[in-house]
Each structure stands twice: as structure tokens, then as C-alpha cells.
Amino acid sequence: MAGASPTLRQRELGMRLRKLRNTLGLTVDEVGDKLLCSPTKISRMETGARRPNLRDVRDLCNLYGVDQATSAELMDIARQAREQSWWTQYEDLNLNPYIGLEQDAVTITAYMMYYVPALLQTEGYARAIIKGILPKIAPEIHEQRVEARLRRQQKLEQPDVRYRALLDEAVLHRPVGGPEIMVTQLDKIIEFGETDRARVQVIPFDAGAHAAQDSNFVLFEFDGSLSPIVFVESLIKHLYQERKADVDRYREAVEHLRDVALSPKDSIRRIAEIREKYAKER
């Protein structure tokens, strides 16, 4: 976990605290009673949904009877979980802990049915899609979101990251920003696909009904003992699915989508065909 972001440190700490509690056979209600706090507070710490308070971690270590070395290690993880990440400089991103998960994942699988995934967007496309989704967005926040989105794309420059984009064909036909922007955008997807920086597959219209027609989602997978997590996008409140049964359901959807999608080679060919149509409209 060396070099892990505060987001992953927060999840690691929660996982270890939950394991300690379960080993002692304590419930979150019993822990809450002993520490004079709500069970929800304990639960949110264990799921990584709450930034750890150092005093709370110290009290939990004392309650669980951990040795001095383990207590010092957990306190150190808690301090790292409270550090500021680069994306905290941007106001109103509303993507915490998403960006932290994205930055630390070793495998990312994105399914998109409405627009090109953020890690593949050009600046022009990003600017147009953000404004399209939030027409009343303040200009300064708009600029921050575009800048942060482009900065996030440095993730795909890492040699050990595996990125797959499963795109509903509708994504390619939706003229975000107009023909000029779409030509540039599709050129970027083709380049990433041909250079293996991303594995892109298109789910064609003639595939009919398929296993993931409810929403965009992203599956994050990590090295080490941290379990995968699925981010599901919605208009108001995003969901993070961590239960094994839920993650397995999304894994099943990914397998089905890969089966019905065009091959990476045929997908690039389909994207190039659609790109030529936009080129003629410029």
C-alpha cells in the first residue's frame, strides 16, 4: 500500500478495524455503547465513508486490546488518510472518494451509455458535456471541473494500469459539442485503442437488450487485500457498491457486455466509420 492515496488508506483502515471488531465478536452497537458514540459512526469508519478521527482510532485500539506496534501502525494509516490529495484544491467536484479510487485502481472497467468516459475525453468534449449536464454551472466551477478531468487522465500514462471502456454505440452518435469536437474526440479514442492505452469495445445497436441498461458504472479493482468497488452514476446521488454479491452482479454484466460487444479491432473500425460522418458535416 506504499504511496496509496488517502482514499485507499481510509478504506484500508476501515477494513482492519472491522476485522479486529469481528475477531472479538463485537457488534457495532456494542462498540458504540462502549465508546459513547453512535453505531453509525463506527460503521462509517469501517466502510471508509468517514475520515478517521485520530482520537477515535486510538480509543478503538484500546478497546480492541491491540499491541503497541499495531496501534502505532493504525494511527499512522489514520494520519495518512487525513492528508490532502491534489483534487481537494478544486471546489465542488463532488467526486470524493471517486477520484481517489480511480487514482489507486490497477484495473478500471467503465461502461458508458450516454457519453465518452472521463479518462478518454478531449478538452473540447469535456467542456461541452459538463456544460450540457449542468447548464447553470458557474464559469469558475466549470473551468475547475474541466481542468481536474484532464489532470485525471494522467492515470492512463501509468504502465501498470489496465483500462477497458465498454461504449454503447449511442455514445458515438450523440454529437456533443458539434461535428468538429466529435471528430477530435473520436480520433483520441481511436488512438488510445490502437496504441493499447485503452481497450475499447463498442456495443452495437443490433446487440439488442443487454445486461447493463440502467446506468453508467465503473468497476475499480486494486492490488493487495482491498476488495473491488463499483461506482454507479446518478443525477443527484452516486452509489458505491462494495458487497460481494453486488460486485459479482456487475462483474457478470461486464462479461455479458464483452460478449455482445464488437471486438476491439472491429470497434475501432466502427468508430472510424462514424468519425468520417462527422468529418463530412464540418
Indicate if 99 and 218 belong to the same structural domain.
Answer: yes
CATH number at 21 reads 1.10.260.40
Considering the domain architecture, whether residues 74 and 166 belong to the same structural domain is answered as no
Q: Which pLDDT score is estimated for 282?
A: 85
Per-residue burial over 83-96, b if 16 or more Cβ lie within 10 Å, else e, is eeeebeebeebebe
Average pLDDT over residues 162-191: 97
Of 207 and 28, the one with more pLDDT: 28
Other CB atoms within 10 A of residue 189 CB = 26
* Percent of the chain residues past pLDDT 70, beyond the cut: 91
Task: Out of 25, 51, 83, pick the residue that ends a domain.
Answer: 83
Name the domain boundary from 49, 83, 117: 83
Domain that holds residue 77: 6-83
CA distance 41 to 183: 49
So what's the pLDDT on residue 1?
46
pLDDT band at 100 (very low <50, low <70, confident <90, very high): confident
Instruction: Transcribe 193-243 into DSSP letters.
Output: HHTTSSEEEEE-GGG-S-S--S--EEEEE-STTPPPEEEE--SS--EEE-S
Question: Does residue 226 have a pLDDT over 80?
Answer: no
Determine the average pLDDT of the residues in 90-101: 70
Place of cell 478500471: 108
The pLDDT, as a whole number, for residue 241 is 86
User: Sorting pLDDT into bands at 50, 70 and 90, what band is 31?
Assistant: very high
Query: 125 with 232, same domain?
Result: yes
The answer to the question of residue 1 being in a domain is no
Same domain, 50 and 101: no
Q: Are residues 70 and 131 in the same domain?
A: no
β-bridge partners, 166: 111, 201
CA distances from 152 to 2, 41, 89, 190, 240 (A): 20, 31, 13, 19, 19
Is the domain of 132 the same as that of 239?
yes
Q: At residue 145, does pLDDT exceed 80?
A: yes
Whether residue 149 sits in one domain with residue 246: yes
**What CATH number does residue 262 fall under?**
3.30.870
Q: Is residue 70 domain-shared with residue 104, that is, in the same domain?
A: no
Q: Which residue has the higher pLDDT, 31 or 240?
A: 31
Based on DSSP, count helices (H) and strands (E) in the chain, helices before strands: 12, 6
Nearest CA-CA partner of 153 in 144, 143, 163: 163
Grid cell for residue 146: 474541466
Residue 47 falls within a domain, yes or no?
Answer: yes
Query: Which residues lie below 8 Å from residue 251, measured CB to CB, with a gap of 6+?
Result: 219
Which band of pLDDT confidence, cut at 50, 70 and 90, is reported for residue 48?
A: confident
Asked which of 130-139, 193-202, 238-247, 255-264 is least confident by mean pLDDT, the reply is: 238-247
Last residue within a domain, chosen from 34, 54, 83: 83
- Is the pTM higher than 0.85? no
